[in-house]
Structure 1
Amino acid sequence: MKYFLAVCALLTIFFLSGCGSEDGFTNQPAPAGLLQVLNAIPDSPGLIVNYENQNVGFIEFGESTGFIQVLPLVTRSLRITSFENRTETLLVSRDVRIPVDNLLTAVIAGTMTSPELILVEDVPPEFADEGTISELRIIHAATSVQTSVNFHLTENDAPAGEPTVSVPLNSTTELIRSEASETSRLRAFDTNGETLWDSGIFPLAASNRLMFVLLDYFGPGDGKVRTVSMTSAIAQNFPNEVITSSSRFANMISDRTAVDIYLGGTLMAEDMLFGDVNQYQNLEAGVYEVTVTSANNIEDVVAETTFTAASGQFHSIIATGLGDSNSVLGTLDDLRRGSTSARIAFTNTSPSAGSVDLYLLSSGQSVDKRRADISPLGSPGSGDVRVGEGMYDLVLTTAGSNAIVFGPEPISVSNNGLYRIYLTDSAGGGEPIQALPGDEFSTNF
């Protein structure tokens, strides 16, 4: 009996040792389909992507999921929901069935009151060995242009010529085949021939399939649309597109009379008193040296840093600190409005407050009973919250605790509004902590 058991054990070991070897069983990847989802609704909050009962992504406007592997050849529900005021709401849904190895791209288009899904299914591409052809597809999902948009794909230095393709709103083209080039350029025009957008120079690689999506644009300059390129990981902007950047400057150093702020050696803000915030100023995208000095004394440097002005973005450059410990905080300012909510940005420049947890409490709520809206909000630091219109109590606690260091301070907001609050020390430095109104908080609360 012992001999029999020993033989069985040896045979088992021999069999297992063959699994996964060259001559034995090799694990094969399970068949799958691919799903990618882009949020193109201009007035939306962040949207939740659900595939059947699985949460597979959370995407803000202009963002996409990466490629998501899903079970193929079965019908599943693609559900898009929003989460506002602690309530999840179904926005739009569709039953989908993705064949093996196919890619389904879902663009969530329209508006919050009239959403729709643009679905594009692509089979795996087949290109000739050492071929020179690239394939691309274009989707028009920009609600600010209700008419068709004419796209012109050319060499960088060539005239626009005749349209490569004309795309109606919330529509997609068939696959467009084009010769690959390192110096391609894509331009969009309205039906009157006015330029809407210009990609600048970009590479169109051979044996590659691309998808470009025209979106609404909320950045600086006169443009109202922008095109993103879908990749396997993200939706990304064109690196050389012709779009400006814009920055404003603020002084939140509570114990200095006034400061000057220089950008790349150019005086951008002069004699700024504590609490001053100037207007946005357009500037060329790029990397700049930021220098904060005492007012009218360029030799007395208070703080300095390097700042990147991103194409198509608004920024705030804020001098902050206390005594001899000062710094420069750069923030990315999202000025896109939401039809179903207000956006409130909070900038913490209070050394006395330090790192805090921030709460916007409805009537009857307390910090003991719910999670913070921003946790933590460092000093210096910035974050924003979307809430439905109404009255709230602003409360700050020491980060990680329920010890209140500010508030409750009542504030009132309306849907579609853009608000900002600067948390600072009192004039001269130290407590009590102040909440200075900014943007559409035109007066104290």
Structure 2
Amino acid sequence: MSKILAVICALLATILLASCGGGGDDDNTPGARLRVLHASPDAPAVDVYVDGTKVLSDVTYPTVSSYLNVRAGSHVIKVNAAGTSTTVINVNPSLAAGGAYTAIAANFLANIQALLATDETTAPPAGQARVRVIHAAPDAGPVDVLVNGQAVLTNVPFGAISNYLTLPAGTYDVKVNAAGTSTTAIEATLTVAAGTNYSAVAIGSIKTAQTNPLAIKVLTDG
């Protein structure tokens, strides 16, 4: 069972995305939805292209976009240094009809990579919320997660994307410790509302602590 990986507050900015076509090859085919999170702590602002069309401009860390409607199927997604033709990420994900996805530009600029998370789109049971964790803090190392003082996840590596945990709506005290130690890297209060799905993303780094420290960024999914 995936336990809570609940680390990892508020969205800093939302960018309206230009539509890239909501359906498939005909109007009866459901499309997919895609959003982008800039989580590379030492990377400059970026432009994002989907199938050759620029859909985001001058995106700064740690901005998350709103969902973009795209056709289902394979896409070419490129991330360029803003205002240039220098491509730092070039991936070809396949997006399922009716699916929702979060693409994360992660790691330090020298080793920047894309993480693709499939977002939950259905409502949780009455009175409940769903929470997952994404470890996108490149130099935090493996971590243990404690919720309300109890260790619920151990040795979580960078790049890990948890399954969703269903839990009662409410407020939780969360600590993210260096694995196997009592050294707390991130400490936060996480409040989740009934009927809502969340991603709690560990972002920032030790290296960039003066400007982009380790933190939790909470996204509302689906």
| TM-score strictly above 0.5 | yes
Unaligned 5+ runs, structure 1: 1-57, 59-83, 86-220, 223-240, 441-445
Q: Does 2:48 align with 1:267?
A: no
CA distance in 2 between counterparts of 1:348 and 1:261 reads 22
2:219 maps to amino acid: G
Contact in 2 for aligned 1:246/1:313 (Cα 8 Å): yes
Q: Which string of whole-angstrom CA distances, capped at 9 and with x for unpartnered residues, describes residues 132-160 of structure 1?
A: xxxxxxxxxxxxxxxxxxxxxxxxxxxxx
Residue 394 (structure 1) shift: 1.3
Q: How far apart are the structure 2 equivalents of 1:317 and 1:345?
A: 15
Aligned match of 2:135: 348
Match of 1:322 in 2: 108
CA distance in 1, matches of 2:188, 2:57: 32
Q: Show the counterpart of 2:92.
A: 306
In structure 2, relative to structure 1, the CA distance for the partners of 1:276 and 1:309 (3 Å cut) is same
- 1:334 paired with 2:120, answer yes
Match of 1:386 in 2: 166
Residue of structure 1 in register with 2:218 after alignment? 437
Partner in structure 2 of residue 293 of structure 1: 80
State the 1:417 CA deviation: 2.2
Change (3 A) 1:308 1:405: farther
Identity across the alignment (%):
20
Secondary structure of residue in 1 paired with 2:195: coil
Indicate yes or no: 2:175 matched with 1:395: yes
- The answer (yes or no) to whether the contact 2:186–2:215 under 8 Å persists in 1 is no
Task: Give, in whole Å, the separation in 2 of the partners of 1:315 and 1:301.
Answer: 21
Residues 336, 377 of structure 1: CA spacing in aligned structure 2 closer, same or farther, 3 A cutoff?
farther
- 2: CA distance, partners of 1:316 / 1:434: 19
Partner Cα distance (1:387, 1:406) in 2 = 24
Write out aligned runs for 1:197-216 (5 A). none
Equivalent position amino acid for 2:113 in 1: S
SS in 2 for 1:396: strand
CA distance in 2: counterparts of 1:242 and 1:437, whole angstroms? 31
Unaligned runs of 5+ in 2: 5-21
In 2, Cα distance between the equivalents of 1:290 and 1:436? 23
Q: 1:397, 1:406 within 8 Å by CA — same for their partners in 2?
A: yes
Offset, 1:438: 2.4
Contact preservation (8 Å) 2:31, 2:71: yes
Per-residue deviation, 1:376: 4.7
| Alignment correspondent of 1:254 | 41
The structure with more strand, counted as a fraction of residues: 1
- The answer to which structure, 1 or 2, has the higher relative contact order (CA under 8 A, 6+ apart) is 2
How far residue 387 of structure 1 moved from its aligned partner, in angstroms, is: 1.4
Is residue 34–residue 68 contact of structure 2 (8 Å, CA) maintained in 1?
yes
Cα separation, 1, equivalents of 2:146 and 2:79? 32
The whole-number CA distance in structure 1 between the counterparts of 2:185 and 2:122 is 29
Q: In the TM superposition, what is the alpha-carbon distance from 1:353 to its structure 2 partner?
A: 1.3
| Cα distance change of structure 1 residues 376 and 285 upon mapping to structure 2, 3 Å threshold | farther
Superposition map of 1:356-395 within 5 A: 356-361=143-148, 365-367=149-151, 371-372=152-153, 375-383=154-162, 384-395=164-175
Instruction: From the CA coordinates, give the structure whose radius of gyration is larger.
Output: 1
Q: Which residue of 2 aligns with 1:414?
A: 193
Flag the 1:432–1:273 CA change in 2: closer, same or farther, 3 A.
closer
Q: Contact 2:200–2:218 at 8 Å: present in 1 too?
A: yes
Q: TM-score, normalised by structure 1?
A: 0.40
- Which letter does structure 1 place at the counterpart of 2:131? I
Query: 2:202 — aligned with what?
Result: 423
Relative to structure 1, is the Cα distance of residues 265 and 381 closer, same or farther in structure 2, using a 3 angstrom cutoff? farther
Tell me the CA shift for residue 283 of structure 1. Answer: 0.9
